[in-house]
Amino acid sequence: MLRRVAIVCLCLLGYGGGTLGAATAAKQTARKKPVKKSKKKKARVARVRRYAAPRVSAGLRAASLERVALGLDERPDPVIDRPGALVPFFERLYRLTNGDGPAVHVLHFGDSHTAADDWTGALRELFQARFGDGGAGFSLAGTPFKGYRRFDVRGGESRGWESAGLRTGEGDGYFGLGGVSIATGRAGQTIYLDADCDSVELDYLQQPGGGRILLTDNGETVEEASTEGPFAPGAIMHAAAPGHHRFEVRTLEPAPVRLFGWVTQTEKGITYESMGINGAEAALIERWDEKMHDYYVARRDPALIVLAYGTNEAGDSKWTEEGYLETFSAILQRLRRAAPAASILVLGPPDRFYRVKGHWRPYPAVDRIVAAQQEACRQNHAAYWNTRARMGAEGSMVNWVYAGLAQGDYVHFTSLGYQRLANVLFQDIMRLYESYLKVRPEVSTQATDEQTSQDH
């Protein structure tokens, strides 16, 4: 029946020094002790060029804010391509609000625009304000990389952990749901999470020779578990009293332990679970062990999967439109296999600039990335929100920077800018949801009549 609802609604809905004097130099040379040269070469650290936001007059800032507002008011038609692809998500929201459906989970994968949690955090607040607070859902274990954060929970780790996965995806692919893991082989290493919830789950890797771990809740022992066994996904689950909790995990012996993340939630409401990795491209998902990743995706039972990639691909010269189309389609198909009942929404890359001879110019490759993503969504029944078009088309990033809504790198937004994007995206989705609610009784009646006729 839900499948027929989706088909009918498809039709109806339409991130120099100075020189020392000779005497002074001689004295300093005399004081110096000979230093032995290390045979180990130091790793070269890539320098990231940072640009400060340009200084603009109050008049220019006000004019830029007005241009941004005008651009956001001009909604494209359709504002979301293939809105019918969101019908399964809308039906889950409807059942949640009517009390006969389970909690609704949204999984949002992306790059640095996602990792900072400004954009996703604002979306989380908007969805939970309307449909109920279902908790944080999945969050990465510890602090696996600089720049990762979640505004709804607070976590950390001791110094003995090493991260794997990240933007390169190097390793064996066993990175859990979020594409990132932390590991240690030492006893006494800890991670913690502060969260409001009524249940917790710790996801880890079961592996040969895996060490024992201890989970505590507000200082009280919950469970001692071994992570030893054949390579497989593992999880510890604990039902907690509703309220605030500090969960802590401690390694109990000098043996390998690899952790993926936490799941903290409540029985009802909606979760908006952000899994962003700085510098990530969509193809990174293909480096995650598919069987293990599918297991954790299915375990979350998402009503909606959001993909937000393209910013880094636009600056990657190795991509062609044809190659990217093939890769992105394969990723959509993979996620569809893992969660066949979920809706998929792709957020295109925002407008992006690069600096040439002192001047900022739009990245021409954004057009090709957007075209390939749109075609992949068309072929795989996924909805598409063209972020760059929605923020005001090519070149609009200048107005966002001058308005104080984007940073001086002409790539990432400020917190206010991400909140502005979140508000617009949420409103666009909710307009479609309201349209769905209007046609749902008619569609449900038609589907019921068809099923009755088939039964007879």
CA distances, 337 to each of 151, 294, 380 (Å): 31, 8, 12
User: Which among 213, 165, 168 is positioned nearest to 186, based on CA atoms?
Assistant: 213
Residue type, 390: R
Are the C-beta atoms of 301 and 339 separated by less than 8 Å? yes
Separation of alpha carbons 38 and 5, rounded Å = 69
For residue range 189-233, list pLDDT tens digits in order.
999 999 999 999 999 999 999 999 999 999 999 999 999 999 999
Separation of alpha carbons 350 and 15, rounded Å = 8
| Cis ω for the linkage preceding 78 (within 30 of 0) | yes
Dihedral angle at the C-alpha atoms of 422, 425, 431, 432, nearest 10 degrees?
Answer: -140
Are the C-beta atoms of 341 and 88 separated by less than 8 Å? yes
For residue range 82-138, list pLDDT tens digits in order.
999 999 999 999 999 999 899 999 999 999 999 999 999 999 999 999 999 999 999
Are the C-beta atoms of 129 and 142 separated by less than 8 Å? no
For residue range 413-452, list pLDDT tens digits in order.
999 999 999 999 999 999 999 999 999 976 555 544 444 4
Which 8-state DSSP code applies to residue 109?
E
Are the C-beta atoms of 296 and 176 separated by less than 8 Å? yes
Range of lowest pLDDT (39-53, 256-270, 344-358): 39-53
Residues in contact with 405: Cβ distance below 8 Å, sequence separation at least 6, in sequence order? 65, 68, 413, 414, 416, 417, 420
Sorted by where each starts, the structural domains of the chain and their CATH numbers stand as 75-85+273-279+300-327+341-369+381-419 (3.40.50.1110), 135-267 (2.60.120.1360)
Which 8-state DSSP code applies to residue 170?
B
Separation of alpha carbons 112 and 308, rounded Å = 10
- SS3 assignment, position 34: coil
